[in-house]
Amino acid sequence: MFMPRAYDRAITIFSPEGRLYQVEYALELVKRGAPIVGVYSPEGAVLAANETPESRLEDPEYFRKIFQFDDHVGATIAGLSSDARVLIGQARIFCQSNKLLYDEPVDVEVLTRRIGDIYQVYTQHAGVRPFGVSLIIAGVDQTGCRVLTTDPSGSYRGYRATAVGRKSEEANKLLEERYRDGVTLDEAVGLAVDAVRVASEGEVTSRVVKAAVIPTATRTFRRLTDDEVEKHLK
């Protein structure tokens, strides 16, 4: 029992089983984060998150889990918010410099790969620890609508619909059962909100479930109002 624990001392190294323990421990932290969801629809991408504050007196305005990166792309986070801020800052800079250099909005996968590369450096070099946060990045670019995830290992994947964080197994089960190709954007929002609800504890209202969409038509990130979310909570 003592042994496996000895591997996370110095830098991010391999265990005898070929696992990067520090990365796996960071993933544990992500699994304890509030649930987040991303859903793809041909009509646009949806991001949703549980933003329940810890006390009645907490100002929900600062307890955000959904962030806009550029007009056409944003993300939702699960894990350490302070670590997330580092990546969000890098993402925004990358979006802006890309626009300046190429005069067009950054490709969503290119942006995600860039964030993944930052993650990777923190898993292979000494003197730092991996980031303790995962992102679901969603956006619309020339290639259409995109929903991708990155995690502390630096790998990224694309999904039709996916949930990360607390009780994500249950949320992902719901998504696998109910997602069908060709969902409308409105259906996608309903699915995302439902998935967050399934993974949440306690009462779930539009006060705590937040969502944003990037419609294919407008290519513009837009936060849903509480009423729009409420509608899907029935």
Residues 43-62 that bind its own copies (CB under 8 A): 53-59, 61-62
Residue pointed to by tokens 């936060």: 223
Helix (H/G/I), strand (E/B), else coil: 73: strand
Question: Does the footprint of its own copies cover residue 202 (CB under 8 A)?
Answer: no
* Type and span of the H or E element at 226: helix 226-233
Helix (H/G/I), strand (E/B), else coil: 211: strand
Question: Does the footprint of its own copies cover residue 215 (CB under 8 A)?
Answer: no
CB of 15 to its own copies, least distance (A): 6
Question: Does the footprint of its own copies cover residue 28 (CB under 8 A)?
Answer: yes
CB of 210 to its own copies, least distance (A): 15
Q: Which stretch binds its own copies (CB under 8 A): 29-37, 95-103, 192-200, 226-234?
A: 29-37
Q: Out of 71, 90, 107, 160, name the contact with its own copies by CB under 8 A.
A: 160
Question: Does the footprint of its own copies cover residue 132 (CB under 8 A)?
Answer: yes
Strand partners, 222: 213
Task: Compare residues 23 and 185 and give the one whose CB is closer to its own copies.
Answer: 23
Task: Compare residues 129 and 231 and give the one whose CB is closer to its own copies.
Answer: 129
Q: Out of 27, 34, 171, 204, name the contact with its own copies by CB under 8 A.
A: 27
Nearest to 49 by CA among 233, 184, 212: 212
Q: Provide the token pair at 76.
A: 């939702």
∠ Cα 53 56 61 (to 5°): 45
Considering only residues 106 to 125 of the shown chain, the ones binding its own copies according to CB under 8 A are 109, 113, 116-117, 119-120, 122-125
The size of the interface with its own copies (CB under 8 A), counted in residues, is 80
Considering only residues 74 to 103 of the shown chain, the ones binding its own copies according to CB under 8 A are 80-83, 85-86
Integer Cα distance of 185 and 192 in angstroms: 10
Task: Compare residues 30 and 224 and give the one whose CB is closer to its own copies.
Answer: 30
By the 8 A CB rule, do 90 and 146 touch?
A: no
Nearest to 127 by CA among 46, 11, 20, 39: 11
